[in-house]
Amino acid sequence: MEITDVRTERIEVPLDRPLGVSRDRSLDARGAAFVVVETDAGITGIGEGVGPESYIVERIVEEKYAPLLIGEDPLDIERHWQSMVTDTVYQDRKGQGLSAASGVDIALWDIAGKHHGVPVYRLLGGPMEGSLKPYASDLFWQDPETMAERARSYVDRGFAGVKTHLGRGLDADEARVAAMRDAIGDAALMVDMNCGYDRPEARRVGRMLEEYDVYWYEEPLTPYDVDGLAALRRELDVPIASGENEYTKWGFHDLFEADAVDYAMPDVMRCGGITEAKKICALAETYNTVCSPHCFTTGVGLAATMHVMAASPACEWLEFDPTDFEVYEPLFETPPTIADGRIDLPEEPGLGVNLDEDVIGEFRVA
């Protein structure tokens, strides 16, 4: 079997409700770059690379990686990872080169699963269990009452935890945390600051979060400040979560060596794909650190994340988008369902997803 083509499909989905995060920032659209790898055996693999600029991922995939891959055996996944990431003289240690490689790697694992007729997690050594525990990842910046109502609705739907995005000052953050804690009772409340604070303010806000039994305090600082994360972890009782802006096992090794995180959050679509995410999860296990991969993406990224988590004993808590995002559950061959606070694993060969033209066609970027 040989690779005959490597290309990308880019989409952008406008949002009815802007996604407000820290420092008065917001998003009014969500984009994606899907990587499509075709073979002479008629098997097509689908992956996703999170840029976030999808046009940069497209150019790297099609101009840098495609020439390395066409004519090669798609099942030589580790060798292809090395050729994309470590074999060049000038290496992309972080950033969009790794995001693009992640998309290719995921597509190659999709091909491998289809070739062998099994879900990808079985090739990775799983499953550990037949289902995963999701938390609802939404609750972007709005007034406290609206956020509390939305949080309650997700717990009523069966989610054991919810995540909110704050980071606009101690008083404003506390008003929303208090409202949501009152609304959801004993359910887990995760708080994401999207790198919104400096060290002094992060410390003050962290003290407040302790009073509301917050489950984790996510990305309070810039990802460049690993020492600051480690200091917060020593000073606060609320657990620290970070890693969505980190890349490769080497980057996560630095986080673990610094004792900077309680919850490691590799993004399968950025950190190096399924190949590298599996290694990061194994590394986390050696440091007795829980992995909860970052996964705010499309159905392709969700599927890739689920397969990695299913085969990794270090993993807990699947990040799940509970909104009606048009390119999320509809990309699955069998859309995932949540029952009794758990989500079943895909059973189809490969990732269990497809790029249905009826689903992505209206969002395609020419």
At the topology level, CATH places domain 3-117 in Enolase-like; domain 1 (3.30.390)
* Per-residue pLDDT, 32: 95
pLDDT band at 51 (very low <50, low <70, confident <90, very high): confident
Complete edge-to-edge strand list for the sheet that includes strand 3-20: 3-20, 26-39, 44-49
Peptide bond before 330: cis, by omega within 30 degrees of 0?
Answer: no
* Strands of the chain, DSSP E: 3-20, 26-39, 44-49, 131-132, 134-137, 161-165, 188-192, 216-218, 240-242, 263-264, 290-291, 318-320, 338-339, 342-344
Q: Where in the chain is CATH 3.20.20.120?
A: 123-357
Please state whether beta strands 161-165 and 188-192 pair in parallel, antiparallel, or not at all (unpaired). parallel
The whole-number pLDDT of residue 366 equals 80
Residues whose CB falls within 8 Å of the CB of residue 23, separated by 6 or more in sequence, listed in order: 167, 168, 196
Q: Where in the chain is the domain with CATH 3.30.390.10?
A: 3-117
Cα 63 off chain centre by? 25
Confidence band for 101, pLDDT divided at 50, 70 and 90 = very high
Percent of the chain with pLDDT over 90: 96
Q: What pLDDT is recorded for position 50?
A: 93
What pLDDT does 326 receive?
96
Tell me how far apart the alpha carbons of residues 82 and 80 are, in angstroms, rounded to a whole number.
5
- Active-site positions? 294
Look up residue 97 and give its amino acid: G
Task: Give pLDDT tens digits for 291-307.
Answer: 999 999 999 999 999 99
* pLDDT at residue 90 in the model: 80
Q: CATH second-level architecture of 123-357?
A: Alpha-Beta Barrel (3.20)
The whole-number pLDDT of residue 306 equals: 98
